[in-house]
Structure 1
Amino acid sequence: MPQRWLDRLHRVEDALLAILLGALLLLSVAQIGLRLVFDSGLDWAEPVSRAGVLWLALLGALGATRTGKHIAIDALPRALPAGAHRPLWAIAQVAAAIVALWLAWLGVGLVALEREAPVPFVAGIPSWVPMLALPVGFGLMGLRFLVAACLPPPVVVAMGEGTP
């Protein structure tokens, strides 16, 4: 049963990424079309696009964390015997979780500072709302790294083995 819920969560994450990417593409094409045809544009398109790219980047990083496709240094596990992979994997995942959760904490502080003196973002939305991407994205990544620390490490091909 938990695997079914996890699969649903992954589908929702993938759908959110696809919808956000599609919306950003549509907004950009509309903005280009309006500028070419009517010599005008949408005043709110640029800040919304910037915030959308921030959310897209962090949600994409969250997806990469889920699939193990994030940037990682894997030279040490390749050089060590197979028995050392599990503890190294757990240590690396916990270290990544600490960094991600620290960045989430800094994001909370940034949002709090912005809430003290908010400026309008677009159409009555305060400027701190799009900044929620930082604590949400990094917080979820940190949780994902902690979960990964409890799971078995991926299979690592030792140096000198396999295809070049």
Structure 2
Amino acid sequence: MTDTTRRAEPAAIRAIGQLSTLCGVVAAFMIFASVLITCQMIFLRAVMGRSTVWQTEAVIYLMIGATLLGLPYVQKLRGHVGVDLVPGLLPAGARRVLATIVLGATIVMIGLMLFYGWEMFHLAWERNWRSETVWGVKLWIPYLAVPLGFALFALQLVADLWAVATGHDDADPTVSPEDRRH
């Protein structure tokens, strides 16, 4: 589909896409920070012969947070694992129906993850849970990544579903990124 035949993308879908991109940037910085902390930890242990207190736990929390906060960006890029054999064999209308069903089912599943992630975060907040390490992090801080990541992922999924339902091909999961550029 060329730029002249493609319908204008709604501002809400564009804004959600920008938010998803921001999530990808934040996730990248979290991964970078975890790499720097790991290097510092290796230096302290191997070169200085000292033990570490907070580094391992911080790296674990950063990597989990990066994974969860990166979900909407990966969805925006259509980077999640998918099987395209069946959709490739279907006509365009059937592909749209299949994409709608898959996106709807995914939203329901992510909604469940969001619910239980919120419950876990809320319990940690309410009961002032701390990690059982020397560092003793308040667990609501790393647990916040679970409901936040799944909420942002669900938001991107809803934007994709809306775009598929309204025929905005840029957000149609059945259109490959290469086809969108032509």
TM bucket normalised to smaller: 0.7 to 0.9
* Paired amino acid for 1:15: V
Q: How many pairs does the alignment contain?
A: 157
TM-score scaled by structure 2? Answer: 0.74
Equivalent of residue 62 in structure 2, options 52, 56, 60: 52
Residue 95 of structure 2 corresponds to residue 103 of structure 1: no
Q: Distance in 1 between matches of 2:15 and 2:157?
A: 19
Question: Shift of residue 4 of structure 1?
Answer: 6.9
The question of 1:148 aligning with 2:160 is answered: yes
Unaligned runs of 5+ in 1: 158-164
Separation in structure 1 between the aligned mates of residue 116 and residue 163 of structure 2, nearest angstrom: 28
Q: How does 1:15-164 map to 2 (within 5 A)?
A: 15-115=25-125, 116=127, 118-120=129-131, 125-152=137-164, 153-155=172-174
Runs of 5+ consecutive residues of structure 2 not aligned to the other structure: 1-9, 165-171, 177-182
TM-fit CA distance, 1:12:
2.6
Q: Which residue of 2 is the match for residue 160 of structure 1?
A: none
| TM-score computed with the length of structure 1 as normaliser | 0.81
Secondary structure of residue in 1 paired with 2:67:
helix
CA RMSD of aligned residues (A): 2.6
- Deviation of the 1:146 alpha carbon: 1.2
Equivalent-residue separation in structure 2 for 1:104 and 1:5 (angstroms): 21
Alpha-carbon contact 1:91-1:149 (below 8 Å) kept = no
Identity in percent: 25
Q: Aligned AA for 2:139? A: S
